[in-house]
Amino acid sequence: MNYDHITNVLPYTEPFLFVDELTEVTENGVVGTYTFLEDSYFYKGHFKDVPVTPGVILTECCAQIGVVCLGIYLLQNETNLPPRGMQRGMQIGMSSTQMEFLLPVKPNEKVTVTSKKIYFRFNKLKCSVKMHNTEGKLVCTGEISGMFKTSAHA
């Protein structure tokens, strides 16, 4: 299934967009992928001669796929706002995160993020997220919460 109606309204662009594809989206969760390309800006200094994806970037990838994409899907269904209106009138803020990092992610590595909704109420979404590498090994896991604000008149 094609989920361009979600990815097209993400409020991010290169070099800070960490969503390549969504493979599953339901009211209870999201599955998506991203490949960390070797020419990404953050590899130049993290770490010298042995590049590893910073944990904050892994967290951001999990947040974009697991919370923001799911939040857009839930808000589109709840408010019936057209995608373009959502893009102009949507504000997003991360409200909390708790992550555990288990394996490094190296340049050119593709990851899959799986998110499960814990709750969505009063425009606050809390999700359990997991990131796996192409070998199916768990890279990181945790919980991320975000707040969404929409305005139909923006």
Tell the residue number behind the tokens 């019936």, with chain if given: 80
What kind of architecture, by CATH, is found in domain 4-150? Answer: Roll (3.10)
N- to C-terminal Cα separation, the chain:
30
Catalytic residue among 5, 46, 132, 153: 46
Q: What are phi and psi of 99, to 5 degrees?
A: -125, 150
Q: What's the CA angle centered on 93, arms 144 and 4, to 5 degrees?
A: 80
Per-residue pLDDT tens digits for 94-134: 889 999 999 999 999 999 999 999 999 999 999 999 999 99
Q: What are phi and psi of 6, to 5 degrees?
A: -95, -55
Q: For this structure, is 5 an active site residue? A: no
State residue 63's pLDDT score: 97
Which of the residue ranges 18-22, 50-54, 82-86, 137-141 would you say has the lowest mean pLDDT?
82-86
pTM over 0.85: yes
Checking if the pLDDT of 76 tops 80, the result is yes
Which are the contacts of 95, defined by CB distance < 8 A and separation ≥ 6?
124, 145, 146, 147
